A and B are shown apart, each in its own frame.
Chain A
Amino acid sequence: MPSIVCRNVKNYACNCTNLQVKDGELLVLLGPNGSGKTTLLNAIAGFTEYRGSIQFDGRPIDHIPPNERGVGYLFQNLALFPHLDVAANIAYSLKIKHWPQDKIRARVSELVNMMNIQHLVSRYPAFLSGGEKQRVALARALALSPRILLLDEPLSSLDAQTAKYLRTEIKQIQRRLGITTIYVTHDLMEAVNIADRLAIILEGRIEQVDDPETLLFYPHNQKVSDFIGAPNILDCDYCKNTGQGVMEVGWRGLKIYVPHDGNVVHKIAILPRHVYVSEDKPRGPGVNSFVARIQDIVPRIDTIRIQLDINGNSLLAEIPSHIFGEMNLEKGKEVYIILRMKRIRVFENGNGSYISK
């Protein structure tokens, strides 16, 4: 599988973009809407004009038309051909390359088995659910065993549950096939979940490329730090396995429960928007629920950042402005907070590996 190198790629949306994707790696291209993610993907696939150079495995491909670049592309809206049934959609590229009928049949059946869509082969795209369409589109993109796979926000139109399953599946398939992949998204947690490495693109420029842990802990500059939203990174004093996939970690006298079932946890991270703030004592068992005092309130564009103090430790929370407006929060007030367990990210130290659930 080839590596991808973009050197000084520049056009209306990309501003001198340099990027290297390693052989067989899943690199997530992360940035807000309009940051040039899709444009860069289109440049790599050959759909848009650019200056600079793009190479696959050291070979410049700038003058190769899109239909000869050998790139599998999963579009945001999937672009399944509505006039072809599932089998014909998957077989499309094989027919284009004039494969013999029996080979086409064999390859299609291999792909539908891999994606678990055997029961859908004779359906038309208009009669598929979002998740089913996604699988068909992925099978179609993989039919010719492309050297490179480009995924443009493939899960953005799906409900959270389906997206979660498919994300895991995409990652597994990518690993199994060892296919060099660029995965575009604007969702940080989705990115952290799936990426080998993350590339942050802001205003058409690649700001930082690193593994998820380094990126979260050590943003290169203020722009990156602002974009990832200054996660709360907590150093753990101890950790204790409670069984059932939950681990108790100590952070400066507080017990925090995290979804983890593995090695020793050294750090945990939670984004400010996943710290829930409430004026009333929350009902329920009170897992990861603490009392905190408001130290500072900082209004941002459409959110409010709240600096909290828990037993002398500081923690950042972020709530949407309209919700802040309905609450009665002020400096010095005592509030209840919940660290949503599912949203806590867990890091094992040493090998730098990142564990997610």
Chain B
Amino acid sequence: MTEILKNFKSGWGFLTVAIFLAFWEIIARFNLLPGHLLPPFSVVMVEFYQLTINGVLGKNFLSSLIRVLIGFTAGSTAGIAMGTIMGWNKIANRALNPLISLFYPIPALGWIPLLMLWIGINEMLPITLIFICSFFPVLYNTITGIKNIDGDYIKAAKSLGASDLQLLTTVVIPLALPNIFTGLRLEAGMAWRVIIAAEMIAIPTGIGALLMKAESLIRIDIIIVCLIVLALMSLLFEKFFQYLEIRFTARWRPDAIYSMQKR
């Protein structure tokens, strides 16, 4: 009985999406909205197929993907490294915290004008933006994760003979992982939002640039295709990190297992 209920619950989400798409198709087909403003879903899908076949979508998607991957990997690695130092070392935290608090509130896109002048319009510009947008949240989550560790775990590890470095690698970082993953998960989606915005404003290639071109040609179907790609990639990245979080931490966290089941 619970199995059936669970299947029904997971099927429920797909059902809502299906109903939404059907409504969209009907509204567009029966011209309930002016036809040129909302092409039917099927037409958008045909365009999706065309863009994929002729390579336009693939080429632009790939440039966006590479930028996100490089920027996000570099940004989150730096965030984890610096967060570990700041969470672990009180002096480092006290010294760097004011500076970081000052930079953190600046929205990633706010850096664009400055970066355009400093770096110029090339591949480094979007990568740097992604770096900035992933660095801070991962940094903060890492610091929080490390600071929240119960002092008794640290004492226990020390009494069992662990040096500071061993303590860090065997206890502190593993216990901070749930928080670090939260940061990564939130930022994985955010990176796609930022890259699209950057490409729309400054860069001539990528999904964001394709979006702007479609706008100037009034190709609403292409715009919607780009938005669908964006939505899917954000979701996919978030789910990927959620998977990693569960893979690496769920076996020792009953709360994670519980929330997984609830999902």
Contact = CB atoms under 8 A, between A and B. Distances in A.
Interface in A277-309: none
Contacts of A161: none
Interface string A34-61: 0000000010011100000000000000
A72 interface: yes
A47 to B, nearest CB: 5
Interface in A6-56: 42, 45-47
A67 B159 contact: yes
A66 B157 CA distance: 10
A73 B155 contact: yes
Given A83-B252, A125-B252, A96 B159 contact: no
Given A92-B160, A97-B161, A140-B160, A77 B254 contact: no
A70 B136 CA distance: 41
A118 interface: no
Given A126-B252, A126-B253, A127-B254, A79 B162 contact: no
A124 interface: yes
A97 B160 CA distance: 9
B161 A96 contact: yes
Given A75-B152, A77-B152, A96-B166, A82 B252 contact: yes
Interface in A176-198: none
Contacts, number: 76
Contacts of A72: 159
Nearest to B173: A83
Contact of B156 (A42, A81, A124, A126): A81
Nearest to B166: A96
A326 interface: no
A92 B160 CA distance: 7
Interface size, A (range):
20 to 34
Contacts of A159: none
B7 interface: no
A47 B252 contact: no
Contacts of B262: none
Interface size, B (range):
20 to 34
A71 interface: yes
Contacts of B251: 124
Nearest to B255: A126
A79 B170 contact: no
Contacts of A67: 158-163
Nearest to A69: B159
B157 A92 contact: yes
Contacts of B166: 96
A233 interface: no
Contacts of A75: 152, 155-156
B177 to A, nearest CB: 8
A45 B253 contact: no
A47 B150 CA distance: 14
Contact of A68 (B153, B156, B161): B161
Interface in A56-106: 65-69, 71-73, 75, 77, 79, 81-85, 92-93, 95-97
A71 B158 CA distance: 10
Contacts of A47: 155, 158-159
B175 interface: yes
A352 to B, nearest CB: 35
Contact of A126 (B152, B159, B254): B254
Contact of A79 (B152, B163, B249, B253): B152
Interface of A: 42, 45-47, 65-69, 71-73, 75, 77, 79, 81-85, 92-93, 95-97, 124-127, 140-141, 143-144
6 contacts: A67-B161, A79-B155, A81-B171, A82-B175, A96-B161, A140-B160
Interface of B: 150, 152-153, 155-163, 166, 170-171, 174-175, 177, 249, 251-254
Closest 3 CB pairs of A and B: A93-B160, A79-B152, A79-B156
Given A92-B170, A96-B162, A96-B170, 13 more contacts: A45-B155, A47-B159, A65-B158, A67-B161, A75-B152, A75-B155, A81-B153, A96-B160, A96-B161, A96-B166, A125-B252, A127-B254, A140-B160
